Amino acid sequence: MKADPPRLAVWLLQRLLPADRYETIVGDLEERFRVDVQPYISPRLARRWYWRQTISIAAARLIARSSRPAHVPLREDPHSPLPQRGSTMQAIRQDVRYAIRTLVKAPVFTLIAVVTLALGIGANTAIFTLVNALLLKPLPFAQPDELMMVHLLMPDRAAPAGVFREMVWSYPKYEVFRDEQQVFAEHALFTSGQWSLTGNGEPERLRGEVIGARYLTTLGITPIVGRDFTSAEDRTPGIDGIVMLGHALWQRRFGGDPNILGQVIRLSGVPHTVVGILPAGFRGLTGEAETWVPLMTTQADDLNQKWSHSYYAVARRKPGVSDEQARSAVTVLGQRVDAAIPDPRGVSKYGAMALSLQDSRVDPLVRQSALVLLGAVGFVLLIGCVNLANLILARAGTRQREVAIRLAVGATRARLVRQFLTESLILAGAGAVAGLAVAYGAIRLAGALLPEAGIVLRSQTFGLTRVGMSLIDLDLTTLLFTAAVAAGTAILFGLLPAWQASRSDIVTTMKASGTGSIAPGGRGLSVRNLLIVGETAMALVLLVAAGLMLQSVNNLQRTALGFEPEGLVTFPLSLSRTQYDEARSTRFFLDLLDRVAALPGVQATAFGLCAPVSGGCNSTRATFPGKPPVAPGQEPSIGVHWATPDLFKTMGVQLLRGRAFTEHDRSGQPKVVVINETAARTLFAGEDPIGQKIGLGQGGFHDGAEVVGIVRDVRYRAVEQVATADAYIPLLQSSRANGILFVRSTLDPAALIPAVRAEIRTLDRDLPVTNVKTMGTRFGDATWRTRLSADLLGLFAGLALLLAAIGLYGVMAQSVEQRTREIGVRMALGAERRNIFALVINRALAIAAVGIVVGVGLSLLSMRFLETLLYQVRPNDPTTLGVLAACLLGVCLLASYIPARRATRVDPWTSLRAD
């Protein structure tokens, strides 16, 4: 089969050569290809030959182009290694040309080096962009360091006295703050909201924010079309609906229609007039908003509730006011608020605090995870550098002749070091450029793997983490970081060999035998051994970190959650209050349950309020009618879940005592509740809860209901968080317009979900159904931080292990080669093959063992930084340490096996004769 010259190579030459040269040179190559090369070897080898020629010509052309000498100096001989005297600029250019030539002449080494560097630098760049976006980059608002979050503080009931929890504002309390504060130039309330957009096409669930009119001004954002909310629209509650849309929504749903202003859209059935469009990329402080509605569209009754805490507050410091001053001013303001609107039970003292936006950016655990990953990937690069240094040292051994000649002809040692460093810099530069491509690819990949928006809802940092995630990008800071890493890397792996190589003793080398060998066991070898010890130690540290994190993931997956996640799918539903009154919403859910239960493959279905491991649920105060009243402010907290009779069966929650709800527990009948184990244990200490009465602060259950059953605890908040007291009340006795449809089936979700959607659409065509997830996905979302850290650490540890093994192999192979004569002598004196084998293996094991011991020490010291990220595993877990150390030792054994085998194949006669 006749092959053709590779077209890419031809194209490359066409780009590089002037037209007349291109024709003749490519013609030459083709002639040689067809006549001298192709008839004799395989097509693959022929193409490889062609590429080698192309690279040689291309490199020569590039080098020639880069220097434009007025005349050609006499000693310009392409094969002469002698450097020229001349100006510094010319010297540097020469260094570069010589370096490129040297590298091109050793393509395998250059390829290995560039690939190693590309992977190492690329991984570091990728993780850095994550750290940059989450922690370092300024938030995308005007002068973000002036912005602060202002929180109310309430005593934390779950903690000892004096500990406060951050909470949100009520409007009347905010009014007190607004009227009395002196330190902020701008401030505004905001909260997240969700609406169903109906009317123009598919019903869609939109996320948005309800904001005070000064919100955008505080952040420094202006609408690109239309206007912001005015202060007139910030005065009295109950105004007509107006809305600002996000840029993406405007494009996606309204086709970027310039006449959008003045159009009326229906949000959850309520008409809103569009008054403005906000800039692209702005998603509010919650990080996911697409619509913005003024605070004053809320009804007066709801807004003026002193104890309805619903709003976050953001504020911008006045110029000249420091962070300290603002914080102490807010503490005082907190006391004023408490004095103006005191706790009616006269018990708790509320307060307030301010926190800069920068400090609120990210969950401390996420911050720590990001920094750990940065450290880990730095280690991998370090190990890669060590390998490269070793590789270069090995090459330096064969270049000693060249070095000696150049020293003899008058080149200074500094010049030589500079020459070698130039090679390293060029390698690092090429690696950095390739690394940027690797990083770009990794970031795109990671974007697909990062968790969905909804899971960070309940954390303190609400949306800022999401805002941070949206900043992940390859920008100038990242490029500077990459350049710095490349330069540092070049120095790390280049300086040592350069310094070493330039220190050759001239006379010894000139007299050396033809193979140019270094004396066996010379100084060079022990430096390399030291490097391997370092590599092995670092590899072990990474392995241990990965091992601990993977165990944490395993422990998370084995945690008893209190229900059966397999086969369970959740459909969050939210009925608009304007269209559905109480009776109608209950009717809707019951009808839906009947229809879904009738679908083939559905084993059970029910209505519940919240999904497990999704950030928690409702909570209220529990009272006990018939018992002496508890001191005000001391009533225990309890979660409230609306439920249909089949909820426990559908979720797979075990009924421990008593009974679950039935259809007889409907309105008009005596009210009943089911509580969980923790509620039974903590609220009814010692007594049997069944038959007792408990009152709940929600759902119309204030007067108390009878406890009829106890169920197993379900972890609603997070996988790691133990369940708290929960109570379930029948949907039939208390209506609810929003909740979750749970469906347990044997069907594949891809088949089940459309079927259920169809049933929902039959009952209400306009009801949007979004965020449908299987419990498996929810579990994944809940554990994303640990799983992602574990996966990445595992990847890095694997890389480190591979690199360390390669490094050890390289050193052992080199050592065997250099000691060929010694081995020959030993064999001639009677040593058996297995003795030689043992000799090599023992040496390798000695090096590895030292490295492992150092690694164990390093691990014990450093793993405590991981402690807060781990789950149910100790940072100095001896089993993990032992297993991984043994594993590493095994890999080192494997790596030294081949050189040891090769050593046994040395023929004593030829090795002694070859001198």
Partner 1 sequence: MGESVGEFEQLILFAVVRLDADATAVTIRREIESRTSRIISSGALYTALDRLEARGFVQSRFGEPTAARGGKRKRLYTIEPAGARALTRSYEALQKMASGMTARLQGLVP
Interface residues with partner 1 (CB under 8 A) are 21, 23-32, 34-35, 53, 56-61, 64, 72, 74-80, 514
According to DSSP H, which parts of 645-702 are helical?
A: 647-651, 677-683
In order of 54, 406, 499, 843, the CA distances from 729 in angstroms are 78, 90, 78, 72
From the list 581, 540, 464, the residue with the least C-alpha distance to 863 is 540
In order of 177, 187, 360, 459, 857, the CA distances from 148 in angstroms are 15, 9, 9, 17, 43
Minimum separation from the CB atom of position 27 to partner 1 (A):
3
610 close to 641: Cβ distance less than 8 angstroms: yes
Minimum separation from the CB atom of position 422 to partner 1 (A):
19
Minimum separation from the CB atom of position 57 to partner 1 (A):
5
Minimum separation from the CB atom of position 16 to partner 1 (A):
11
Burial category of 437 from C-beta neighbours within 10 Å (exposed 0-12, middle 13-18, buried 19 and up) = exposed
Cβ closer to partner 1: 1 or 35? 35
Cβ closer to partner 1: 72 or 560? 72
Cβ closer to partner 1: 18 or 162? 18
Cβ closer to partner 1: 19 or 158? 19
Cβ closer to partner 1: 511 or 905? 511
Cβ closer to partner 1: 102 or 783? 102
606 close to 593: Cβ distance less than 8 angstroms: yes
DSSP state of 291: E
Interior angle at CA 882, CA 877 and CA 884, nearest 5:
100
Backbone angles phi, psi at 379, to 5 degrees: -60, -45
Interior angle at CA 78, CA 77 and CA 81, nearest 5:
85
Minimum separation from the CB atom of position 100 to partner 1 (A):
11
Cβ closer to partner 1: 61 or 902? 61
In order of 253, 588, 600, 759, the CA distances from 746 in angstroms are 36, 25, 9, 18
Cβ closer to partner 1: 21 or 252? 21
Cβ closer to partner 1: 60 or 483? 60
Minimum separation from the CB atom of position 70 to partner 1 (A):
12
Cβ closer to partner 1: 100 or 123? 100
Minimum separation from the CB atom of position 824 to partner 1 (A):
19
Minimum separation from the CB atom of position 504 to partner 1 (A):
21
Distance CA 259, CA 225 (A): 10
Cβ closer to partner 1: 34 or 205? 34
623 close to 603: Cβ distance less than 8 angstroms: no
Minimum separation from the CB atom of position 107 to partner 1 (A):
12
From the list 549, 552, 547, the residue with the least C-alpha distance to 856 is 547
Minimum separation from the CB atom of position 806 to partner 1 (A):
30
Cβ closer to partner 1: 57 or 274? 57
Minimum separation from the CB atom of position 103 to partner 1 (A):
13
Minimum separation from the CB atom of position 87 to partner 1 (A):
22
Burial category of 261 from C-beta neighbours within 10 Å (exposed 0-12, middle 13-18, buried 19 and up) = middle
Cβ closer to partner 1: 324 or 915? 915
Report the chain's terminal Cα–Cα distance, integer Å: 47
Cβ closer to partner 1: 97 or 712? 97
387 close to 806: Cβ distance less than 8 angstroms: yes
Q: Could you tell me the sign of the dihedral formed by the alpha carbons of 589, 591, 592, 593, in that order? A: positive
Minimum separation from the CB atom of position 814 to partner 1 (A):
25
856 close to 885: Cβ distance less than 8 angstroms: yes
Cβ closer to partner 1: 12 or 185? 12
3-state DSSP call for residue 356? strand
According to DSSP H, which parts of 409-475 are helical?
A: 413-449, 464-469
Distance CA 281, CA 453 (A): 15
Minimum separation from the CB atom of position 12 to partner 1 (A):
13
Minimum separation from the CB atom of position 406 to partner 1 (A):
18
Phi-psi region of 256 (alpha: psi -120 to 50; beta: other; left: phi over 0): left
Minimum separation from the CB atom of position 58 to partner 1 (A):
8
Neighbours of 323 (CB within 10 A): 16
Distance CA 690, CA 316 (A): 54
Q: Write the DSSP assignment of 879-914 as a string of letters.
A: HHHHHHHHHHHHHHHHHHHHHHHHHHT--HHHHHH-
From the list 574, 569, 567, the residue with the least C-alpha distance to 769 is 574
Strands (DSSP E) along 331-422, which ranges?
A: 351-356
Burial pattern 14-31, b for ≥16 Cβ within 10 A else e, equals eebbeeeeeeebbeebee
Cβ closer to partner 1: 58 or 371? 58
H or E element in which residue 387 lies: helix 364-398
Distance CA 545, CA 742 (A): 38
From the list 304, 360, 322, the residue with the least C-alpha distance to 150 is 360
- Which residue's entry shows tokens 């020490």? 857
Beta-bridge partners for 604: 744
885 close to 855: Cβ distance less than 8 angstroms: yes
Minimum separation from the CB atom of position 31 to partner 1 (A):
5
Cβ closer to partner 1: 71 or 905? 71
Cβ closer to partner 1: 21 or 306? 21
Minimum separation from the CB atom of position 489 to partner 1 (A):
29
From the list 803, 128, 189, 700, the residue with the least C-alpha distance to 442 is 128
